[in-house]
Amino acid sequence: MTAMEGAMPTNARYGRVLLKISGEALMGNREYGLDPEIVARVADEVHSVVGMGVEVCLVIGGGNIFRGVSGAATGMERATADYMGMLATVINALAMQSALERRGVQTRVQSAIPMASVCEPYIRRRAVRHMEKGRVVIFGAGTGNPFFTTDTAAALRASEMGCDALLKGTKVDGVYSADPNKDPSAQRFETLTHLEVLAKDLQVMDASAISLARENKIPILVFSIHTAGAFAEVMAGRGKFTIITEEG
């Protein structure tokens, strides 16, 4: 079952969601680039959620190929470095498109930087229409502007698409007060408000993304993308995740 026109999910908490994952999440144990097994596993996760009747769109970072901030740190002009990072996200988007389509999931890549030979330009109304037809839309090239992260791009696209929730797939099963892999005493949060995330300076997403989600009343659900079946579990209201809402 796919989220065709007029269809409503029967066993999911949200009808339309945006999934944000980092480029590093696709590296596996490699130092850079893409791990085909990880890409395939994430595609399986998305496929299962589409099967629940949910309309899904994605934003994937580019840090596994090139990070604009890192490039700027080596002396490269920040705007140039950021544009290179945006191009890296399109590479990841095309890889994910290929993996999804091998599973029979109709997918479209839309780039904020036009590159007509490989994908569609970002057009909001067209993206919405694709999702209404049950297609997964992957947004590449961030916002199309330097100095903005893919986290901010995710919050922006989630707002533009009218998403019911923004899901952040990370290496851990929620939001912690510190990195639990480095600090065993790190506190895990079940629920938070957008303002608490900003006040506590929790490194979930950058401040611009959190503020944009808050302004548009979009809850953020943080879960482990590395746990098999976690995406579908979260969509069904089960499993381990932290939810960030306006009210808490």
Q: What is the tens place of the pLDDT at every residue in 16-27? A: 999 999 999 999
Is residue 8 in a domain?
no
Q: What is the tens place of the pLDDT at every residue in 44-98? A: 999 999 999 999 999 999 999 998 777 777 889 999 999 999 999 999 999 999 9
Spatial CB neighbours of 133, under 8 Å, sequence gap ≥ 6 = 4, 5, 106
22 is in an annotated binding site: yes
143 is in an annotated binding site: yes
63 is in an annotated binding site: yes
71 is in an annotated binding site: no
How many domains in the chain? 1
The single-letter code of the amino acid at 50 is V
Is residue 183 in a domain?
yes
Is residue 208 in a domain?
yes
Is residue 182 in a domain?
yes
14 is in an annotated binding site: no
Spatial CB neighbours of 106, under 8 Å, sequence gap ≥ 6 = 2, 133, 134, 135, 136
Task: Return the closest-CA partner of residue 60 out of 147, 137, 145, 174.
Answer: 137
- Of 3-7, 55-59, 121-125, 155-159, the least confident: 3-7
Is residue 4 in a domain?
no
The residues with which 20 forms a beta bridge, in sequence order, are: 59, 168
151 is in an annotated binding site: no
82 is in an annotated binding site: yes
User: Has residue 207 got a pLDDT over 80?
Assistant: yes
Per-residue b or e along 133-144, where b marks 16 or more CB atoms closer than 10 Å to that residue's CB:
ebbbbbbbbbbb
98 is in an annotated binding site: no
Query: Given the DSSP bridges, would you call strands 175-176 and 188-189 parallel, antiparallel or unpaired?
Result: antiparallel
> Is this prediction's pTM over 0.85?
yes
165 neighbors 157 (Cβ within 8 angstroms): no
Q: Looking at the chain, list the stretches that DSSP marks H as alpha helix, in order from N- to C-terminal side.
A: 36-50, 68-73, 78-102, 124-132, 150-161, 194-199, 207-215, 230-235
Is residue 119 in a domain?
yes
User: How far apart, in whole angstroms, are the C-alpha atoms of residue 157 and residue 147?
Assistant: 17
Q: What is the tens place of the pLDDT at every residue in 159-178? A: 999 999 999 999 899 999 99
Residue 1's pLDDT band (cuts 50, 70, 90): very low
Tokens of 196: 């608490």
For residue 75, the model assigns a pLDDT of: 87
Residue 112's pLDDT band (cuts 50, 70, 90): very high
Work out the end-to-end distance of the chain between its first and last CA atoms, rounded to an integer number of angstroms: 33
170 is in an annotated binding site: yes
Instruction: Specify the 3-state DSSP secondary structure of 222.
Output: strand
148 is in an annotated binding site: yes
146 is in an annotated binding site: yes
Is residue 5 in a domain?
no
For residue 198, the model assigns a pLDDT of: 95
67 is in an annotated binding site: yes
Q: What is the tens place of the pLDDT at every residue in 127-160? A: 999 999 999 999 999 999 999 999 999 999 999 9
20 is in an annotated binding site: yes
**Domain of residue 235, residue span:** 16-245
The count of other CB atoms within 10 Å of the CB of residue 77 is 11
147 is in an annotated binding site: yes
What is the CATH number for 181? 3.40.1160.10
User: How far apart, in whole angstroms, are the C-alpha atoms of residue 50 and residue 2?
Assistant: 6
Is residue 204 in a domain?
yes
